[in-house]
Structure 1
């Protein structure tokens, strides 16, 4: 089941796909600079009654004139069944788009990330017919950003660092650097990456640290809904604050919110559902996409 932390771990690449190139360049894998990115449908369902769906799929254009597909999967634990799914995804994407696919698996613990990075070999051991080599990001190889000036230079990477290191002893220092950096950017950017960070931290102890940090200084983010959202851990109106935040994010992004959508969101009292809708509101192109069955 998709949850808010899961959504943020892969959707941050939709907000700034350049995180992919910048992160792996520090690991010695020289992916070329990105020139353009298109968000593609994540539905890999065929005509047969079998549904397969990626978390995020991007078409990336590079400075050398090439394009490739970046398939991003957020993985919370080891799941051997994913091996066959990932193999299918890459073969299907290559056949469907005629472009070279890259599989990126984002994890919040080192054990899962190292498991995800292992090559997947299909076929007899004497002659594997197909080998899948996922790229995996986790707390062991994502940069730890604790310098506020470094965080300010690359807010998306700082937010990604905070999400992947949410269970790390250094989490508080990373979050403090990010909180400081968010004060240096425009309000809309602060809104997006502030909310993505909170969603990505999920139920970790770092999530409460982040809420406390956001409650200290709200000068850079002044909307009533957002102030209520930051105080939600201590307030009775948690669901109401989240519901209003969903509507506010859509409207701030210039997306029309009809009466039916508004009523459905504001009448919802389920916090987990509202978390999911809030994450989707950051990238949706229509208000109705909040209710996708993905």
Structure 2
């Protein structure tokens, strides 16, 4: 059964049919024929055989006369699947026969460990016919930190967040999406916002939450709930992490028990007291000592 990430990635390319062609040209450096339109067509490649052959997405580039000039079979691959090495050549040959145009297989993965697996050539057994998938892995996806770029291609910005959101660039990517795509019409902004949020590291997620609170951007039901419940949580989490940061900076050993107690506290006054004491105590355990009379 396809995962949520799998379906989300398919939707990004479905919502922006030109995205696959743009990445083919700009990232994979593959020449494209001149075309006027990119459109989604049926990805059902089944014939009279009982086996279901359905690619994730099939994109046709057509010229001014609506004649196909290139077909792109798009596959999202997040985990190994031995069967794909047998059906991918079928996708290519059946698409080429149906639309009578050159056909390319593009495999998208946000899992860096899958890049090598997806890139392996597929020998078909026929002389000279070895299929070499074109792979868009994490290193191929640009880090979108420019609001103008996010506005021009919100789907690319979301793909960037799903690929690089856990890195140090996560907050910059999310900020670019927030500034660039928020005012766009005819864009599933709320759904995209949820994808960006779920792709971030925890620190970036909290910062983005604060940005949304300040801007009063409540377009996503998920965000409305998160902002309502998360502001207080963000305050005590930030304070507890500040206590630990001071202790770590001073080179004091922090046991698992001490760390757990600090992170478990939701009393802002208590955390503020611990933060002040963290500057002067000689051991982390002294934080919890009763104040001197």
Distance in 2 of aligned mates of 1:69 and 1:99:
7
Distance 1:184 1:147, change over 3 A: same
Answer yes or no: is 1:231 the counterpart of 2:233.
Answer: no
Equivalent residue number for residue 116 of structure 1:
118
Deviation, structure 1 residue 15: 1.4
Equivalent residue number for residue 24 of structure 1:
24
Distance in 1 of aligned mates of 2:154 and 2:202:
18
- Alignment RMSD (CA, Å): 3.2
Say whether the 8 Å CA contact 1:119–1:131 is kept in structure 2. Answer: yes
Distance 1:194 1:31, change over 3 A: farther
Larger Rg: 2
Distance in 1 of aligned mates of 2:138 and 2:36:
28
Answer yes or no: is 1:45 the counterpart of 2:46.
Answer: yes
Distance in 1 of aligned mates of 2:157 and 2:149:
8
Distance in 2 of aligned mates of 1:4 and 1:157:
18
Deviation, structure 1 residue 216: 4.2
Deviation readout 1:20-70 (Å, 9 max, x if unpaired) = 232233332232454213322222222232112111112211579752211
Deviation readout 1:153-190 (Å, 9 max, x if unpaired) = 4333222222233444422321221111123423x32x
Distance 1:230 1:56, change over 3 A: same
TM-score scaled by length of structure 1:
0.65
Distance in 2 of aligned mates of 1:215 and 1:62:
46
Deviation, structure 1 residue 194: 4.5
Distance 1:18 1:129, change over 3 A: same
Deviation, structure 1 residue 112: 1.0
Say whether the 8 Å CA contact 1:32–1:63 is kept in structure 2. Answer: no
Residue correspondence of structure 1 range 124-203 to structure 2 within 5 A? 128-186=127-185, 188-189=186-187, 192-196=188-192, 198-199=194-195
Task: Say which SS state the counterpart of residue 231 (structure 1) adopts.
Answer: helix
Task: Say which SS state the counterpart of residue 37 (structure 2) adopts.
Answer: strand
Say whether the 8 Å CA contact 1:198–1:210 is kept in structure 2. Answer: no
Deviation readout 1:193-235 (Å, 9 max, x if unpaired) = 5514634x6965549955973674386866xxx4423235588
Say whether the 8 Å CA contact 1:106–1:136 is kept in structure 2. Answer: yes
Task: Say which SS state the counterpart of residue 68 (structure 1) adopts.
Answer: strand
Which of 1 and 2 has higher RCO (CA within 8 Å, sep 6+)?
1
Distance 1:97 1:152, change over 3 A: closer
Q: In the comparison of the two structures, how many residue pairs are matched?
A: 226
Deviation, structure 1 residue 74: 0.9
Distance 1:202 1:69, change over 3 A: farther
TM-score scaled by length of structure 2:
0.65
Answer yes or no: is 1:4 the counterpart of 2:8.
Answer: no
Structure 1: runs of 5+ lacking an equivalent: 237-294
Residue correspondence of structure 1 range 252-271 to structure 2 within 5 A? none
Task: Say which SS state the counterpart of residue 80 (structure 2) adopts.
Answer: coil
Structure 2: runs of 5+ lacking an equivalent: 230-293
Distance in 2 of aligned mates of 1:83 and 1:113:
14
